Amino acid sequence: MPPRWFLLLPLLAGLPGPAAAESLRTVPQDISYCRELAARLAPLPGAARDPARALAEEGVRLCREGYVRTGVAKLRRALRAAQGR
């Protein structure tokens, strides 16, 4: 029985091409991005209140311990919480 590649064509057609893949947003994997997020968070009025403060502290700690991706996620949540979103 011949392979049924034609069955996969509709699935493959929906995948992004190389141009779309280049435009996907990626999270920098270094501690400098953690510092940038923390600096953006610091002047916000809601940054000193929970849950923003607790999320920021945990995010900075995670970044410092080498868990940058998780730390960035916590810092982004802290930013949203400090902005009231």
Q: What is the structure's pLDDT at 5?
A: 46
HSE, side-chain direction, 13 A CA sphere, residue 81: 17
Mean pLDDT score, 14-40? 70
Residue type, 11: L
DSSP state of 51: T
Which of the two residues, 42 and 1, has the higher pLDDT score?
42
- Please identify which residue in the block is written with the tokens 């996907």: 24
Q: What is the structure's pLDDT at 9?
A: 47
- Please identify which residue in the block is written with the tokens 């069955």: 7
Cα separation, 59 vs 54, in Å, equals 9
Q: What is the structure's pLDDT at 82?
A: 92
The answer to whether the beta carbons of residues 43 and 82 sit under 8 Å apart is no
pTM score, two decimals? 0.67
Taking the domains of the chain in order of start, what are their residue ranges? Answer: 26-82
Q: What is the structure's pLDDT at 1?
A: 47
